[in-house]
């Protein structure tokens, strides 16, 4: 039997191992934040942001950022229906109401026209999730934010390496959040980052991140507010420092894998993949194939085909409004339609060309068989 092809795994070299070992051996006492401070400094430099706070998760970064904006009971936050639950859970934890809007058919990211249509006097934030490395239309969203005074937040959990007209994903909104989960392009195992260019907002989140203890507080163990405990460890940050030194290599390899899939699947009718429009760079975290409804190819068919071929099949995110904990069922056509005919493709950094060939060939053979089946059924019905 052929070896299983996993959908993702991290790229860990001797550099990461050495940094983590050094943090474990020396990162205590007065040096307990050495790698943490370095990771925050280097990440904000890479991103082009003024401030950065390393966190235990992207979810924690989002939670603190929304709390610092004062979002709470009675408020509404607009976000794409196509999302992982981590984006909506902080909204619910703060007592606000999530408003799920549809996504564009080409980018699978939030539709600015739908955002505009759903703004009410209760709207206190708009979250732009850059899905699978694809980019939201930030020009349109930022214009809405500027005109209405509603802050636009970037959920860049999946968008390290993505660039919107010269500006890196996560650096444009009121604040941005990143994930360094073990599946991500840049990983610390678990972890995240809060970034912003707003000094006042940074200070609020910094206070919240340290159990509510303000940076200027001179009284020992004296909190100034009820805060959170979403800190990243120094050992995790050490791994992050090593990954950040390799960031161009890591992103470029992801982009190479996406390009390889696109070449191999280019002759396949009715399939689209992660777009990259003029002036943008897609960080290509998760290459994704979306089939046109006319092909008759479904998520379940692809899951079964990949399982038979001993390949991981990771499904496209279900719409948040389909989850049992939410009562609203908006008519978000794209958010509800796309997941049923899409699949995320394996894209770990050390995939070989043979691995990519095997994944692509599996899709091509499946599609050819499905098209043959459909045409035969059509002839028999005539």
Please list the active-site residues: 184
> Which contacts of 321-330 are long-range, i.e. CB under 8 A and separated by 24 or more positions?
321/81, 321/100, 323/85, 326/98, 326/100, 328/100, 330/81, 330/100, 330/101, 330/102
CA–CA gap between residue 323 and residue 302 (Å, rounded) = 22
End-to-end CA distance of the chain: 42
CB 57 within 8 A of CB 313: no
Residue labelled with tokens 């999730």: 129
Rounded Cα gap, residues 242 and 18, in angstroms: 9
Q: Are 296 and 370 in contact (CB under 8 A)?
A: yes
Let me know: does 108 contact 128? Beta carbons within 8 Å: no
Q: From CA 161, how far away is CA 283, in angstroms rounded?
A: 4
Assign residue 9 a region (left: φ > 0; alpha: ψ between -120 and 50; beta: otherwise): beta
Give the C-alpha separation, 198 to 56, whole Å.
21
CA angle 87, 90, 92 (to 5 degrees): 105
Nearest to 47 by CA among 201, 182, 140, 173: 173
Q: For residue 289, which phi and psi values (nearest 5 degrees)?
A: -105, 125
Please tell me the distance from the alpha carbon of residue 169 to that of residue 177, in angstroms, as a whole number: 10
Alpha-helical (H) ranges within the chain are: 14-26, 34-47, 58-68, 85-93, 112-117, 138-148, 199-209, 234-245, 247-265, 299-308, 333-337, 353-381
Q: How far is CA 39 from CA 19, 51, 64, 226, 285, in A?
A: 12, 12, 19, 26, 21
């Amino acid at each position: 039997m052929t070896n299983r092809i996993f959908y993702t795994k991290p790229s860990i070299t001797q550099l990461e191992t050495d940094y983590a070992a050094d943090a474990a051996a020396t990162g205590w006492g007065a040096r307990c934040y050495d790698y943490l401070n370095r990771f925050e400094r280097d990440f904000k430099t890479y991103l082009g942001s003024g401030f950065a706070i390393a966190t235990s998760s992207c979810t924690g970064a989002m939670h603190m950022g929304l709390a610092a904006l004062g979002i709470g009971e009675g408020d509404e936050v607009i976000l794409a229906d196509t999302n992982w639950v981590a984006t909506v859970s902080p909204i619910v934890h703060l007592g606000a109401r999530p408003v799920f809007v549809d996504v564009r058919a080409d980018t699978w990211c939030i539709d600015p026209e739908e955002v505009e249509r759903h703004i009410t006097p209760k709207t206190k934030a708009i979250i732009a999730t850059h899905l699978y490395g694809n980019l939201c239309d930030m020009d349109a969203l930022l214009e809405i934010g500027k005109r209405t005074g509603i802050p636009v937040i970037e959920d860049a959990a999946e968008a390290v390496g993505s660039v919107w007209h010269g500006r890196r994903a996560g650096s444009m909104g009121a604040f941005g959040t990143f994930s360094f989960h073990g599946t991500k392009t840049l990983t610390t195992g678990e972890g995240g980052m809060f970034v912003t260019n707003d000094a006042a907002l940074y200070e609020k989140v910094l206070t919240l991140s340290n159990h509510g203890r303000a940076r200027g507080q001179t009284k020992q163990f004296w909190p100034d507010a009820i805060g959170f405990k979403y800190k990243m460890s120094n050992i995790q940050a050490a791994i992050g420092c090593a990954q950040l030194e390799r960031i161009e290599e890591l992103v470029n390899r992801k982009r190479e894998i996406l390009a390889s899939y696109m070449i191999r699947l280019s002759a396949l009718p009715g399939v689209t993949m992660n777009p990259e429009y003029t002036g943008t760079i897609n960080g290509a975290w998760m290459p994704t194939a979306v089939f046109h409804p006319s092909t008759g190819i479904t998520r379940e068919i692809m899951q079964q085909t990949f399982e038979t071929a001993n390949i991981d099949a990771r499904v496209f995110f279900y719409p948040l409004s389909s989850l049992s904990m939410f009562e609203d069922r908006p008519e978000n056509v794209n958010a509800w339609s796309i997941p049923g005919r899409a699949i995320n493709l394996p894209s770990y950094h050390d995939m070989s060309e043979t691995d990519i060939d095997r994944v692509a060939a599996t899709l091509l053979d499946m599609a050819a068989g499905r098209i043959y089946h459909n045409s035969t059924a059509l002839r028999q019905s005539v």
